[in-house]
Chain A
Amino acid sequence: MLPGGKRWIIGGPYLWLLIFFLLPFIFVLKISFAEAELAIPPYSSMFDWTEEALNIKVSFANYIWLTGDELYVVAYWNSIKMAFFSTLFCLLLGYPMAYAIAKAPPHLQTTWLLLVLLPSWTSFLIRVYAWMGLLKNNGIINGVLMWAGITDEPIQMLNTNFAVYVGIVYSYLPFMVLPLYANLVKHDATLIEAAYDLGARKWGSFFKITLPLSKNGIIAGSMLVFIPVVGEYVIPELLGGTESIMIGKVLWQEFFNNRDWPVASALATIMIGILIIPIALFHRYQNKESQS
């Protein structure tokens, strides 16, 4: 490529991402130090010209407010906890699935992988919605349970943490399976043969060879689930109850219901602070995987 052409090729996407992806975070950070006002836009400005001098107004009130109120701390803790366990469940279900695809006859692998990915191409909203109908008190699962005589009265499933877990695992499972499959399919089968040859049984060679070698895939898949789930809004909103307070939902309420943009910004800033290390980790392993 010509040097001049190179500049244009880099410039286009670079500029777009700088303006529309990076720059917004600076505004989030800035507004998180502002105060809510009844104005348009509904926050105080940071820079102010009064008495012919530049006044810079930085308020830490939002952060003090957030760390002081137990509701927010619980919401953060809850989000991390639920993201952690749903990642674990996705891994426990997704790993054997990815393994099965990678070990399937080559001509079947694409079809099986497509079977796993296909649901994620249909609307995410509608897949979450499908579980509302299944988990309701007068829904199908309760109907079957009562018909089978397992329970006499409906079990409360919708609007519980259980429903949120089901919804998250259901929606995010393909994101776990895809990187794991991509990793497992590259494994050299002779390594397993070598392990057998040296006396290892099937489970032994799985835990000593296959599992450690799929580390990068496990990290990539787990981050692909964990990070977005920490900020998940739709699933706890539709399937969760009062107990399932997650930070995404709190942020939404602060922004849309309370119109408190500065507090919402502070919530987002702290969330980014929590997620920055997982994101960096994901970035590193993503690069490692694509280069190997």
Chain B
Amino acid sequence: MSDASPILRINALTKTFDDFTALHGIDLDVAEGEFLAIVGPSGSGKTTLIRLLVGMDDPTDGAIWLRDQRIDVIPANRRPTCMVFQSLALFPHRTVGQNIEFPLKLRGVAAKARKDRALELLDLLRLPRDYYAKRIQQCSGGEKQRVALARALAFDPEILFFDEPLSALDYRLRKTLEKELKDLHRRTGKTFIYITHSLEEAMVMSDRIAIMRAGRFEQIAPAEEIYARPVSPFVAEFMGEVNFLPLRAGMVAGAALSSAAQAALAGQGGTLVLRPESLRLNPQAADLTLTGTVAAAYLLGSRMQYRIDSPAGELTVEVLREDAVAGGIGAPVTLGCDLAALHLIAEARDAAA
């Protein structure tokens, strides 16, 4: 991200509503052609942020730069960016073609050129050309999605924003469209900024993920890094099932540490983050070992998930089905993991949880 100058730069952006602060002076750089996902629970400020970015609202303080142009002072209709709405906001009184041509018509593009562009976009979005004359009400959910994308791309905006456009769709269609969107990103080479509350969606599609919490960015990094090295328990939990073990002066209550682990953790304090799939059942050797009994077992298709009662509290473990424990509820088990799978969140960050 540092090699080229960013296409979008957010500088100390603040937004307050009466006595509530939705954004606390946040900073962000987005590289040209990047697919950035902004993820956060509802109320984290992500919707406020996107409304400021597209120009539906004015910031209280701070600035938004598009290359070397300051855009937060420009109204939305004159910004070279475009948003795909959560509701898609397709115009029900216009046909598919008229919807796609709408931004071009506003810019005074001739009818012939508009139609050519609309057909080109139908091709790009892999919609049949005869959809040009279709009514919006005749389109399926996935088709509407593609029409909305075509319309947003029509005037060739610099950046495309997405406000959870997939959240209302059923699971299977969502999965298909996630991949299509990623593919479209690759083919157009445009900068995509995508707001969602679903981390799963963000991980499938994006180059980088920005996690928002209470009007601030908690962590901005590629998906693998956020998953493996969360900066806070909040991020760790947001990224899926996780176990936390308190570390006090290099010791974990109720667990045995190997000499290598003792050396690595000596004198440190904080919270150890352990993903359920990095814990193994009844291991030959491990850097961290716990004992406990099976409290519950769930079949997750190709994997098994267990809840284990242990002296360190209730833990979640996920293993392949062939590694399932013999016996059942109440069976005693040993849990272990390697030093490499342990991620330590130091004391200071821990306080936030």
Partners in one complex: no
- Using a CB–CB cutoff of 8 Å, the interface residues on chain B facing chain A are none
